[in-house]
Chains A and B, each alone.
Chain A
Amino acid sequence: MAKVFIYPVTSLILSDLVARFGHKPLSAAMQIRERIQTAGLESPPLQVTPEDPKKGLKYAAVEVPSGVRGRMALFGPMVEDADAAIVVNDADFSFGCMGCARTNELLAFLIRTRGIPVLDLVYPRTEEEGIEFVAAIRDFLAGLEGK
């Protein structure tokens, strides 16, 4: 079972398909769950600790808006942990905590620099595209077995 980073990290379709074909999707929900289930001092909306901005600084300089660093504190460690990635390129960037376009660009760059297998797709607009979309993901994930 490989760890597959999905982009958009909040995607229902990718999260379901990766799990359905027997792998572990790395999505935003897992990072958020980890934080809100950790006891400590209340810091709504997430239980963000002083460690999180430090994690973000690994990926973006201090001059970069804090929203980018905050998001990278969640997503960056997942990219580093991933064995592969599936990227949907025409995603609508108003996806909840996916909101910042600069973070999305940085994330796309980080995925490329990791050197892991990446499957690039766009959302299926027709049923025929849907069949090819699912087949491509299945074949890509089948090739990851044994890692």
Chain B
Amino acid sequence: MAEYKPRYVGTVTKYVFVDSPDMTPSDLALRAYEISLGVMIKETCFGLQITGKESEVDEIINRLRSLDPVHIFVKDRGFPPGDPRRCRANLGGARPGYYGHEYELTLIKNVSKGLEKLPSRPPGAVPEPPVPKTEKKLDVHTLKKIIESQES
């Protein structure tokens, strides 16, 4: 078994998603390159992937986020860009994954609206968030009665 030598040890990789009427991923990438501070930036169809030391990455993200705070979203990524285990260039086709991001990006405009409206919300107002349905499920005693009624 080959020895594994990890790349980019001590770095973090973060996704930056932009879903804005005023800014495209290319705009965001241009701004990021201007302030890149030597960290690795990869432009993608949804925004960016930024890889570097955590403090540097956080600083860049804070500056990028200030451009359009309610439409820029950030999350951590485990793999660095171009990792042969995940990169589609090595896998011979489209790579799996991104379904979660794709799904959440269809809803993210609602979250953006929430972030936009939140400062004007009266203090102390109790939120009424969308809550899970509490449908009553068939309890075991009723099921037993149904089975018994069918058997008799």
Contact = CB atoms under 8 A, between A and B. Distances in A.
Nearest to B1: A41
Give the size category of B's interface with A: 35 or more
A46 B79 CA distance: 10
Given A15-B75, A27-B75, A43-B4, A131 B100 contact: no
A126 interface: yes
Nearest to A41: B1
B136 interface: no
A64 interface: no
Interface stretch (B26-34, B121-129, B138-146): B121-129
Contact of A32 (B78, B114, B127): B78
Interface string A85-105: 000011010111010000000
B63 interface: no
A36 B113 contact: no
A132 B114 contact: yes
Nearest to B65: A20
Contact of A120 (B4, B125, B132): B132
A33 B112 CA distance: 28
Contacts of B111: 13, 17, 124, 130, 133-134
B12 to A, nearest CB: 7
A39 B2 CA distance: 11
B101 interface: yes
Interface of B: 1-6, 8-10, 12-13, 15, 17, 73-79, 83, 85-86, 96-101, 103-105, 107-115, 117-118, 121, 125, 127-132
